[in-house]
Amino acid sequence: MEVRAEKPEDVEAIRQINMAAFGREDEANLVDQLRGVSSTLSFVAVESGHVVGHVFFSPVAIAGKCPDNLLVLGLAPVAVLPGYQRQGIGALLIQQSLEECSRLGCKAVVVLGHPEYYPRFGFISAKEKRLKCEYPIPNEAFMVLELEPDALENCVGTVKYRSEFDQLE
C-alpha cells in the first residue's frame, strides 16, 4: 500500500471513492470545489496501481484570538472504497498524511468525527485547547491535533470552515 499526494490523473478515481464511501455526491463535490484553493492537501492510498482511498485537508480560520500566520487545516473528508474498508487503509492514510501536513508547515489539524476513532492519532477534544466548532455539534465530536507542540497556546475562538462546507448536511 502506497500513500502519496494526489496527481491530476487521480481526480476521477477520488470522485468515485467519495461517492461510493458516502453513498452520495456531496463530499465528492466538496473536494472538487476545494481542490484549487490555496493550502489544500489531498492524498490517496494506492493498492496494486489502483486508488482505493482518499483524504483531504483544507484551511480553516479561527475567529477569536490566534496568530494570523498559523496554518491550521481541517481533515475532511476521508474515504475508502467499500470493498477495501476495515483493512486499516483509512488509518494508514490519516497517519501518513498527518506526517506530511506537519512536514509542509501545518501547525494543527481539526476534525469533526467519531470521538472513539480519532484519538488513536493523537486528537483530543478541541475544547481542551479553547476551540469550538462553528457547527452545532457535540463537543466530543470536534477534535484537534497539534502537529507542533503548543502551537495553539495563544489561540482561543471558533473554528470556521470554508463556505463550501455549508452545502454538506
Q: Which fold has domain 2-167?
A: Aminopeptidase (3.40.630)
pTM of the model: 0.95
DSSP, residue by residue, 45-82:
EEETTEEEEEEEEEE-EEEEE--TT--EEEEEEEEE-G
Which of 84, 87, 27 has its CA nearest to residue 55? 27
Nearest-5° Cα angle at 99, 95 to 102: 140
Q: Are strands 131-133 and 156-160 parallel, antiparallel or unpaired?
A: parallel
Kindly tell me if the per-residue pLDDT of 5 is higher than 90: yes
Q: Note the pLDDT tens digit of each residue in 38-91.
A: 999 999 999 999 999 999 999 999 999 998 889 999 999 999 999 999 999 999
Q: Which amino acid makes up residue 95? A: Q
Kindly tell me if the per-residue pLDDT of 137 is higher than 80: yes
Rounded to an integer, what distance in angstroms lies between the CA atom of residue 74 and that of residue 80? 18
Confidence grade of residue 32 (pLDDT, cut at 50, 70, 90): very high
Kindly tell me if the per-residue pLDDT of 99 is higher than 70: yes
Confidence grade of residue 169 (pLDDT, cut at 50, 70, 90): low
Please report the pLDDT score of residue 11 as a whole number.
97
- Please give the average per-residue pLDDT across 150-161, as a whole number: 95
Sheet containing strand 156-160, strands side by side: 61-65, 156-160, 131-133
Instruction: Give domain limits for the chain.
Output: 2-167
